[in-house]
Structure 1
C-alpha cells in the first residue's frame, strides 16, 4: 500500500510516498481502507519539529501523519463488536498515533463512528479533529449558553468554520473575525456580525463577550481579558506561538477566582463528541466546509497551500 513518509522534520518538501505492507488488525482493531483524509494544524506542527516531543521520534520521524480519516472497514479483529467489513466510518486518529495519510490504517474501534449517509467520504474526512476541537472549546471549556455573546477570532479556517456553526446551534450571538475575502463565506455560515481584521482591530472595541475563542492571529492575553464580561471565558485554541505561550503560562495567574476565566484547550478525541457531530451532520445542522482537494501524490503541494494560512475551511486529500 502507499503511505506518506516524513523523511526529516522541516518543510513539506521532506514528504515522500512509500510502498509498505498492508497492516493486519489486532483483536480490538479494524482495518480501514481510507477514501479521504484532511490536513490539520497538528500535522503542520508535528512536521515542523514538534513531533520530536510527541512520540514521533526525536532525531527522525517514525510515524505517518494524518489524524482525520473517512473510509470503509475492510477487516475486523475478533474482539470488535461495533463494526464489520463494509461499514463506512470516519474518525480522529490523533489519540492513537495518527497514520491517516495512507491507503490503509489499523485503529481501535473506539476512535471511529459510522459515517453519516448524507455526507461524502471527502466531507466526512473534513470533520473530526477540527469539529471536535470547536465543540470542546465552546461547550466543554467555554460553557456556552443560549443568548451568549461569542467572539470567534479565526472564523474561516477548519476549526473556525465549525465554531461559527456550532455556536449558532447552541443559540449564541456570534461575532466572527476573518479577512476581507472570507467575510461573505463566514456570514453564510450563520455569523451575526463579521469583522475584517485587516481594517479593524478587535482589541479596540468597547464590546464585551461571554466567550472568546482565539484560533488564529495574536493579541495579548491582557487585551482579551478586557474584552470579556465579568464571568466571561477566554479559550485559546491556536494562533501564533506567543499567544499559546502567554495563555499557557499566564492564564492561571490572571484568571479571576470568581470572574473571568482564561484557558488553553488541548482537545482530545472521543467517540461521544464524534457521535454528537454525526447527529448534526445527518440533520443538516452542521456542514463541512472544504477548500481544495488534492490526491495523495500531491501531499507536498497540499501542505504548502495549507501552511500559507489562507485556506477556507479544510484542505482534503482524496485517496
Structure 2
C-alpha cells in the first residue's frame, strides 16, 4: 500500500511517501479500514517538528517548515513520551471496514466509519490517560489503517469521504472544550483562531447550543466567519479590551495563546470560564494570578475526551446539524504541499488528503 511515513522530528523532509508498504493485518479486537480520506491538523505538524517539547517556546509556524534545532526528542510528543519512529501519522480518518480480527463481529465488514482521534489508552492508570490516532499508533495517512473495533464508529451520512474526514480531530476538540465548560444558551463566548479547523468547528458547535459567538480571526476572513454564524467578528491583533470591554464574556475558547493572551482573563466576567486546546501563537504567556483568584475564574486545559464527546459528534453529523468546511483537497502523495498550504493559513476550515 501507499502511505506517508514520518521518519523523525524535523522539517517537511521527514515525511516520506512510500508505495510498497505491506497492508496491515487487524489483530484481535481490531478492524482494517480502507481509508477514504484523512486531513491535516496542527497536531500532525506539532508532532513532526517536536513542538510539544518543553525546550521549544516559539509559535508553531516558526519551525513548521524546517523544524527546531533545540528540540528534545525525549518529550517531543504531545504525551511527553518519546515518539516511536517511523510512524504513519494522521489523526483524521474516514473509510470503510474491509476486514476484522478475532473477537470482532464479521458483519462490520462494509461499514462506513469515522475513527475517534483521541482514543482510550492501550493501558493506563490515570483517568485522563489517552492516545492520539497517528501518534501512539499508526494513523490515517495511508491507503489502509488498523484501529481498535471500539474506536471505529459506524456513520450513516450522505456526505463524501472528504467531508466526513474534516470532522474527527477538529470538531471533537471543539466539542470537548464546549462540553467541558458547559456552554449554555444565551452566554457570550469568545473564540480565538476562529478561522482554523477547531475554531470554525467551535463556531458551529457553540451556535447549536444557542449561545452568542464573538470570533477573532484575520481581517481577510472576517466576512466568511460572519457567514458561518458568528454574531460578532474582531480582526486579529485588535485590542480586545478596547473593543469588548472588561468583564464582557462568559466563556473564552482559546486556540492561540501568544501575545494577546493577557487580555483574555480580563475579558471574562466574574465566575467566567476559560478553556484552551492550542497555543499556535506561542505557548509562553504572561498572567496576573490575582485576576484568576479575585474574579473566581475557572481554567480548563482540554486534551482528554470522554467517549460521549465523539458519540455526540457522530449524532450531530447524522442529523445534518453541522456543515463540513473543506477548503481544498490534496492527493496523499502531495502532503508536503498540503502542509505548506496549512502553514500559510490562507483558508478556512480543513485541508483534506485523499490516498
Q: What TM-score do you get using the length of structure 2 for normalisation?
A: 0.81
Q: Distance in 2 between matches of 1:101 and 1:178?
A: 29
Q: Distance in 2 between matches of 1:25 and 1:70?
A: 17
Closer, same or farther: CA 60–32 of 1 in aligned 2, 3 Å: closer
Segment of structure 1 superposing worse, 35-44 or 108-117: 108-117
Partner in structure 2 of residue 303 of structure 1? 339
Closer, same or farther: CA 183–98 of 1 in aligned 2, 3 Å: farther
Partner in structure 2 of residue 284 of structure 1? 320
**Following TM superposition, where does structure 1 have runs of at least 4 consecutive aligned residues deviating by more than 6 angstroms?**
250-253
2:183 to 139, 144, 147: 144
Q: Distance in 1 between matches of 2:189 and 2:348?
A: 21
1:266 aligns with 2:266: no
**Which residues of 2 match residues 82-231 of structure 1 at below 5 A?**
84-94=108-118, 95=131, 96=133, 97-140=137-180, 142-198=181-237, 200-205=238-243, 206=245, 208-216=248-256, 218-231=258-271
Q: Distance in 1 between matches of 2:290 and 2:304?
A: 22
Closer, same or farther: CA 59–126 of 1 in aligned 2, 3 Å: closer
Q: What TM-score do you get using the length of structure 1 for normalisation?
A: 0.89
Closer, same or farther: CA 184–29 of 1 in aligned 2, 3 Å: same
Aligned-pair CA distance for 1:223: 2.0
Q: Distance in 1 between matches of 2:277 and 2:215?
A: 15
Aligned-pair CA distance for 1:22: 0.7
Aligned-pair CA distance for 1:191: 0.9
Closer, same or farther: CA 213–98 of 1 in aligned 2, 3 Å: farther
Aligned-pair CA distance for 1:309: 2.8
Aligned-pair CA distance for 1:262: 2.4
Q: Distance in 2 between matches of 1:311 and 1:119?
A: 21
String of CA shifts for 1:47-84, please: whole Å, max 9, x gaps.
10247333899598321111110000000122124961
Q: Any conservation in 2 of the 1:93–1:99 contact (CA below 8 Å)?
A: no
Q: Distance in 1 between matches of 2:308 and 2:255?
A: 23
Q: Any conservation in 2 of the 1:9–1:60 contact (CA below 8 Å)?
A: no
CA RMSD across the alignment: 2.5
String of CA shifts for 1:156-175, please: whole Å, max 9, x gaps.
11001110001011110111
Q: Distance in 2 between matches of 1:254 and 1:81?
A: 54
Q: Which runs of 5 or more structure 1 residues have no equivalent in the other structure?
A: none
Q: Distance in 1 between matches of 2:102 and 2:294?
A: 51
Q: Distance in 2 between matches of 1:298 and 1:135?
A: 30
